[in-house]
Structure 1
Amino acid sequence: MNPILAVDMAAVIILTTAGNARELGIDEEQWVYLRGGADCNDIWYVSERPVLHASPAVRSIFAAVSAHTGIALDEIGRFDIYSCFPSAVQVSCRELGLDPRDPRGVTVTGGLPYFGGPGNNYSLHAIAEMAHVLRAEGGHGLVTANGMYLTKHSIGLYSREAPQQAWQPIDSAPLQAAIDAAATVAPAKDPSGPAMVETFTVAFGREGPKQGIVIARNEAGERIVANTRDDEQVLKDLLDNDPIGQTGRVTVENGINRIAL
């Protein structure tokens, strides 16, 4: 499940005021309202994030959008969660409080792996499709977007129901300031020694597993990024057994961190 970027696609949305829409003679049955939206970045460097499977940015901007609009999670009928990788969906759902298997679904397009998306423009397609869905079904719909390594996050809440008050933007600056002020994890100055695995992945080549990559913490709580040896049995063990929580030993060989589990 990965994004498909090599597609020839385009999407357009027209955003205007209710007054201008009336002057243009646009049928009100076609109107979809942007009820609220917010943007925030998580800690820029993945290696400095205290919790690798969390997104304080998604959590805070959804709380802000929900409070601003008065629309709670259980009142939202449709979702499109940005889906560049499985972890992007899982992390966002966790922060929203949404079960990934919720019958309301997590996409209205089919998601990046199946619908495709021209680079970072996928979310415009998600917004356009959400407008079609809300015109047909009514209610509220939520669209998320992210960029970089689950770093930049945006949320928009759309609805067929008109708001009761005039449009007001959400000030994301205080939300961003709180994230920026949070403690970060320092990289280990000397990575050699015991380290506990926080997470890992196995990179594949055309012939199969190629390299193991591990993120771990040493006894001082500092973070280490290391490769496993490019050994067939080591890579098989990584794929067959979950090493998270295990302690390995890191050595530095020719400037490269190596971890043995």
Structure 2
Amino acid sequence: MFPISDDNPEPGIPIVTWVLIAICCAVFFLQASLPPGEAELAVYQFGLIPGVLFGSTVMTDAPVPAWATVFSSMFMHGGFAHLAGNMLYLWIFGDNVELAMGRLRFLLFYLVTGIAAALAHSFLVPASTVPLVGASGAISGVLGAYLMLYPRGRVRVLFLPFPIIILRTFYVPALVVLGLWFVIQVVSGLASPVEEAGVAFWAHVGGFVAGMVLVPFFKRREVRLFHPPQPRVFDGRTGARRGPWG
């Protein structure tokens, strides 16, 4: 069950969401343009290394202070699939959260939840020398906010039953989609040693929880938590739906 769009229209243009996606894509293609050795070095220089952040490891000739990598790491990715998955989630869920908060507050919220996610991971492995990169911690905060704002919003998911290979799409409440996503992160985190896991599950958990806790302080005053579902609108002339493949 994989989300591909939502049916939760809100008036406005999510400029910050688009800009964040553009920056992440630009940084990734810059990474991809580097020779392999330089690309790997860039990950170590601009990714978040817990040991360097907490002072147990020293990196010589670091181009930025250790604290700055908390921010730079949010815009780097380890591969195209990593980038594509993160940007898809930000595209689907970021617009509603941005429009519920306003541009400046949404940007601040995104960065703060990204920091919370990075620290949640780093505190568990404070001496690790493995760099953490990716926007998923901040995006997890966006998911947590979306869950608090629109738990009954309809999310269009792609379902691929196995072993029968038949692609199907249907709508599921955000509470189910995002709740299941959160449970998977927690279970995966408990089942995988933090230092050995290839995915920073606890960063996802930390960002998600931070998003749920902080959304009341960042949303517009007139915006309610736990919105009722929006009436479904279908334009017979275009058949348009929201989302990259909607």
Task: Give the TM-score range, shorter chain.
Answer: under 0.3
**Greater helix share, structure number:** 2
Question: What's the TM-score once normalised by structure 1's chain length?
Answer: 0.22
Using CA pairs below 8 Å that are at least 6 residues apart, which structure has the higher relative contact order? 2
Question: What's the TM-score once normalised by structure 2's chain length?
Answer: 0.23
